[in-house]
A = this chain, B = another copy of it.
Amino acid sequence: MEAVILAAGWGTRLKPLTENFPKPLLRVAGRELLYRHLRLLSERGVSKFWIIINPKHRQHYQEFRARHPEFDLEFIENPYPERGNGYSFYLAKDHVKGPLILTMGDHVYEKDFVIRAVSLRGLIVDREGRFISPEEATKALCLNGHIKALGKDLKQFTGFDTGFFVLHEPQEAFSAAERLLQRKKEISLSEVMVEARIPCAELSGYLWMDVDTPADLKRATRLLVKHGVKGGGDGLISRYLNRKVSTWVSARVINFLSPNQATLLTTLLGLLAAATLAFSPKGAALLYQLSSMLDGMDGEIARASLRTTSFGGWLDSVLDRLVDFAFLAGLYLVWQPAFPWQQLVALCAFFGAIMVSYTAERYYGAFQHPLYQDFPLLRYIPGKRDERVFLIMLGVLAGKIWETFLVLALITNLRVFLTLTLVCAKNLGQHPA
């Protein structure tokens, strides 16, 4: 499949950013707007891209292509952007052959939107438009599965124009453009699509928006970061505290911090917290909680900037274990438990803290399913990392080290025991010994 991306607009409202620079090459959540289209559409099987550009930005686009040799893209120059985006689209006529996907280079779509949209037909219309301002958006009136009208000022409409088109017979739309161009010089894409009576399909509730102003750039970044949060393994503290902090920071640093750099940074902060135990246990506890609040950044940055790797996940897990061990070991050395049963409880806390993660990770390795997905009950049982760190912070601030180790040993090992019971119950039932 091929794709056409319209990128010849003026970007007027983003000046001075777009004075001498094309809007589709501005960065949102660490990636050029255009890169997101290419990457997400490639993953859905699009192998050839035609980008309609303004000739004055030729140099920037050629540099972009040199930076991304993984995509097969060609530029079609529109020397008359003032003739409208319908004319831009028309310029692709003699290049594309089969079915095509048409998108707007200044729009942002989240991955799940693209995954679903490519299997639909015609203009994708969103009934809710949760992330756009309704006054400024283009509305669409769909009747009997076909577009009847498109425009900003429609009184009656069935949804919002997402700017994402799946055209199985694009020549109909090109012919419609040709007919309109015989009558006038400037034509809009909306006119073309209404004239061509292309189908429309509904896809509502996903994140998509157009980027028109500097405020939109920031908002798109923030929304992509938040939508990248996969909360499956998050505990209560993460959901109501840590994620608020980490997404706030992630959105602000995503353009210059890579996921692995974020991992390294929070690890160093965690190790610093452990070292601080020697001087100031309370300061150390606060630092530890701070590192835990920032712990989600690597994943958020990775997902929002389309940089997730298996390696990143592995590194994050291993270094989290290291930080947890370092802090607990420091706490143990500061505390110096005198009685064997205190020592045993502390050792059990060490064991439980690692095993909560070990049982879940080993489960994924064995079954290729997240443990929390197969046993949703475990989402509601405490003992996950965010909760452990918070508990330790509270315990240290209260000066109750013994009680902290005791509670930690209890909840983590209960969680491990419950995991063991659930997994055994399910599997021994299926495969009788």
Contact = CB atoms under 8 A, between A and B. Distances in A.
Contact of A333 (B258, B313, B340, B428): B340
A373 interface: no
Interface stretch (A88-96, A188-196, A315-323): A315-323
22 contacts: A260-B428, A311-B427, A311-B428, A313-B366, A314-B363, A314-B423, A315-B424, A318-B359, A318-B362, A318-B420, A321-B351, A321-B358, A332-B343, A332-B347, A333-B343, A333-B344, A350-B350, A350-B351, A354-B355, A357-B358, A364-B365, A365-B365
A358 B364 contact: no
Given A260-B433, A311-B431, A347 B329 contact: yes
Interface string A300-317: 000000010111011101
Contacts of A350: 347, 350-351
Nearest to A352: B325
Contact of A340 (B260, B336, B348, B363): B336
A366 B310 contact: yes
Contacts of A433: 258, 260-261
B359 A358 contact: no
A240 interface: no
Contact of A361 (B261, B362, B367): B362
Contacts of A351: 321, 325, 329, 350, 354
A365 B361 contact: yes
Interface string A366-387: 1110000000000000000000
Nearest to A354: B354
Contact of A358 (B361, B420, B427): B361
How many identical chains are in the complex?
2
A401 to B, nearest CB: 14
Nearest to A310: B366
Interface of A: 258, 260-261, 307, 309-311, 313-315, 317-318, 321, 325, 329, 332-333, 336, 340, 343-344, 347-348, 350-351, 354-355, 357-359, 361-368, 420, 423-424, 427-428, 431, 433
A258 B386 CA distance: 39
Nearest to A334: B340
A200 to B, nearest CB: 40
Contacts of A332: 343, 347
Nearest to A330: B344
A370 to B, nearest CB: 10
Given A321-B355, A333-B340, A354-B355, 10 more contacts: A311-B366, A311-B424, A314-B366, A315-B423, A329-B347, A329-B351, A332-B343, A332-B347, A336-B340, A358-B358
Contacts of A336: 340
Contacts of A318: 355, 358-359, 362, 420
Nearest to A257: B433
Contacts of A361: 358, 361-362, 365
Contacts of A366: 310-311, 313-314
A355 B350 CA distance: 12
A325 B325 CA distance: 15
Nearest to A351: B325
The 8 closest A-B pairs by CB, nearest first: A311-B427, A365-B365, A310-B366, A258-B433, A314-B366, A364-B365, A325-B351, A329-B347
A367 B321 contact: no
